[in-house]
Amino acid sequence: MSQEKSESVKLQSVNSLRTTMDSYFQRLKTATETGNKKIAWCTSVGPAELLYSMGFEVYFPENHGAMLGASKMAEKYIPTAVSHGYSPEICSYLTSDIGAFLQNETPLQKSGFKTVPKPDILVYNTNQCKEVADWFSFYARHYNVPVLGISTPLNINELTTGIIQYVAKQFEELVPKIEKVATQKFDIDKYRETIGLSHDGCVLWRQVLETAKSKPSPINFFDSAIHMGPIVVMRGTQYAIDYYRILLSELQQRINTGVSAVPNEKYRIYWDGMPLWYKLSSMSKLFANLNTCIVASTYCNSWVFDDLDSKNPFESAALAYCKLFIVRSDDEKEKVFEKLLKEFSIDGMIYHESKTCMRNSNTHFGLPVRLNAKTKIPYIEIHGDLNDSRCFSEEQAIIAIETFISQLSSRN
Ligand code: SF4
């Protein structure tokens, strides 16, 4: 391995990303200050299209949770949520977000917000986890506003018509309840248009991620974890589409000119599980030094809702949001992994077992062993957490990762 220190090559699009995200928060701030629009809070894989189509500005507490993690503030806030009865064992997005709220602090204060945007309504989907219902209920009680939810079956093996109809009906049943709060009536054409915009944004996001099939890859997981912001919070708007066109064009240009995200890419890794938000930068440097690019991840792939179809908006939304990786059985997850490992020419897998997010950790029920028996792709498990750095031993993780990459080099 090269002894020279190398770093990931920065994407120029980061400037446009900043502008896109700043304008999103500016729209939320304007809505907060002027009341020109109502504000809905939505889960990251919740029915954002419905809310955007009905004229809301949409705020995503999980995005806020990730900001708290990335700014290394989570440990300051988690104990406050714990002292209000929330276990330190549960989702550290939830505990850091509620803790920050109880301390009346938010990273958004740097952008001129006094507090997080006050919701007029909160809408979740339990497709990702049950925790979001409890999380949103805290704020519904505090603000005395309605909280609505879609209840999605978990561990879905076969995605039957029955399941899709059951969930599609719940999407439809939200409409009259949201109308009671919205300033505009539901308009099916507007919803179709928003679903179409969401579809197009997701296709562009998929194309962005798929550029990593190139050898060497023009993008790595640490870039994607940052550049996924617009698909999470602006899915269903033209803003996301405009941004991903810029990013995709830069990545295609990188492929044409042979620029790689990691200089001297030798090893290609799949990352399963949540990012370590408080260690993105140091992990990015670690992998770059090991000439290793994390080219694909479960996490970033989770916002590819390309089954959305404006001709069939409710059913296709139900399909897209039930097909999501996190909702599926281990058998279905294994099939997805097998496909991605081949498509992205993966040399090894790293499973991050996140202490406070069981739903995004796939190491508990033998999946890594079964997948390895089928694919012969080596793997390691590292233990940590998405936001709570107290659950992560950096030294141990570095030793495990360096040893793993060195074993990969001896296989080649
Ligand atoms: S999926 Fe995990 S990280 Fe996301 S809200 Fe649920 S428990 Fe938290």
pLDDT tens for residues 107-118? 999 999 999 999
pLDDT value at 412 more than 70:
no
The predicted structure's pLDDT at residue 163: 98
Q: Is the CB of 385 under 6 A from ligand 1?
A: no
Model confidence over 87-130: pLDDT tens digits? 999 999 999 999 999 999 999 999 999 999 999 999 999 999 99
Q: Is the CB of 29 under 6 A from ligand 1?
A: no
The predicted structure's pLDDT at residue 2: 42
Q: Is the CB of 240 under 6 A from ligand 1?
A: no
pLDDT value at 410 more than 90:
no
Give the integer Cα–Cα distance in Å for 101 and 159. 38
Give the integer Cα–Cα distance in Å for 358 and 224. 22
Q: Which atom of ligand 1 is nearest to the CA of 94?
A: 8
Q: Which atom of ligand 1 is nearest to the CA of 92?
A: 8
The predicted structure's pLDDT at residue 315: 98
Q: Is the CB of 209 under 6 A from ligand 1?
A: no
Read off the pLDDT of each residue in 12-25 and give the average, rounded to a whole number.
98
The predicted structure's pLDDT at residue 8: 82
Give the integer Cα–Cα distance in Å for 25 and 31. 10
Give the confidence band of 7 by pLDDT, cuts at 50, 70, 90. confident
Distance 301 CA to ligand 1 centre (A): 16
Percentage of the chain surpassing pLDDT 90?
97
Q: Is the CB of 21 under 6 A from ligand 1?
A: no
The predicted structure's pLDDT at residue 362: 97
Q: Is the CB of 388 under 6 A from ligand 1?
A: no
Distance 305 CA to ligand 1 centre (A): 19
The predicted structure's pLDDT at residue 9: 84
Give the confidence band of 356 by pLDDT, cuts at 50, 70, 90. very high
Model confidence over 159-213: pLDDT tens digits? 999 999 999 999 999 999 999 999 999 999 999 999 999 999 999 999 999 999 9
The predicted structure's pLDDT at residue 196: 98
Q: Among 97, 139, 359, 361, which residue has the most ligand 1 atoms within 8 Å of its CB, making it the best to mutate?
A: 359
Q: Which atom of ligand 1 is nearest to the CA of 129?
A: 6
Q: Is the CB of 262 under 6 A from ligand 1?
A: no
Q: Which atom of ligand 1 is nearest to the CA of 128?
A: 1
**Domain regions of the chain by residue span:** 14-411
Read off the pLDDT of each residue in 38-63 and give the average, rounded to a whole number.
98
Percentage of the chain surpassing pLDDT 70?
99
Model confidence over 334-352: pLDDT tens digits? 999 999 999 999 999 999 9
Model confidence over 198-256: pLDDT tens digits? 999 999 999 999 999 999 999 999 999 999 999 999 999 999 999 999 999 999 999 99
The predicted structure's pLDDT at residue 411: 75
Contact 181, 187 (CB under 8 A): no
| Mean pLDDT score across all residues of the chain | 96
Contact 202, 304 (CB under 8 A): yes
What are the CB-based long-range contacts (under 8 Å, 24+) for 83-90? 88/356, 88/388, 89/355, 89/356, 90/131, 90/356
Q: Is the CB of 202 under 6 A from ligand 1?
A: no
Give the confidence band of 4 by pLDDT, cuts at 50, 70, 90. low
Q: Is the CB of 128 under 6 A from ligand 1?
A: yes
Q: Is the CB of 97 under 6 A from ligand 1?
A: no
Contact 375, 340 (CB under 8 A): no
Fold of 14-411: Rossmann fold (3.40.50)
Give the confidence band of 3 by pLDDT, cuts at 50, 70, 90. very low
Read off the pLDDT of each residue in 252-262 and give the average, rounded to a whole number.
97
